[in-house]
A and B are shown apart, each in its own frame.
Chain A
Amino acid sequence: MELIIRNTTNQPIYDQIYTQIKAQIISGRLQPGDALPSIRALAKDLKISVITTKRAYDELEADGFLYTVAGKGCFVAEKNLDLIREKQLKELEDHLAAAAALAKTCGVSREELHEMLRILLEEEL
Chain B
Amino acid sequence: MNAIELSHIYKSFGDFSIQDLCLTVPSGTICGLVGENGAGKSTTIRLLMGALRPDSGNASVLGVDVSSREFLQIKEDVGVVLDEAYFPESLNAIQVGKIMAVTYRRWDQAAYERYLNRFDLPEKRQFKDFSRGMRMKLAIAVALSHQPKLLVLDEATAGLDPIVRDEVLDIFNEFTREEDHSILISSHILSDLEKLCDYIAFLHQGKLLFCEEKDRLLEEYGILMDSAEQVDCLLPEAVVAREASGYGGVRALVRRDLAPAGFQLEKPTVEDIILFLVKGAKTR
Q: Do chains A and B touch in the complex (CB under 8 A)?
A: yes
A binding-site residues for B, Cβ under 8 Å: 7, 10, 12-14, 40-41, 44, 47-52
B218 → A minimal CB distance (Å): 8
B binding-site residues for A, Cβ under 8 Å: 28-29, 173-174, 176-177, 179, 195, 197-199, 213-215, 219, 222, 265, 267
Q: Chain B residues with Cβ under 8 A from A44's Cβ?
A: 173-174, 176-177
Number of A-B contacts (CB under 8 A): 36
Q: Are B174 and A51 in contact (CB under 8 A)?
A: no
The main secondary structure of chain A at its interface with chain B is helix
Q: 4 extra interchain contacts, Cβ-Cβ under 8 A, other than A13-B215, A51-B215? A: A40-B179, A44-B177, A47-B173, A51-B213
Q: Are B177 and A49 in contact (CB under 8 A)?
A: no
Q: Are B177 and A10 in contact (CB under 8 A)?
A: no
Q: Are A48 and B215 in contact (CB under 8 A)?
A: yes
Closest residue of chain A to B169 (Cβ to Cβ) is A47
Return the 9 tightest CB-CB contacts between A and B, nearest first.
Answer: A49-B198, A52-B215, A12-B219, A44-B177, A51-B198, A51-B213, A49-B215, A13-B215, A44-B173
Closest residue of chain B to A9 (Cβ to Cβ) is B267
Closest residue of chain B to A13 (Cβ to Cβ) is B215
Q: Are B176 and A51 in contact (CB under 8 A)?
A: no
**Residue in A40, A44, A51, A52 with the greatest tally of chain B CB atoms within 10 Å:** A51
Report the Cα distance A47→B174, complex, angstroms.
10
Closest residue of chain A to B170 (Cβ to Cβ) is A47
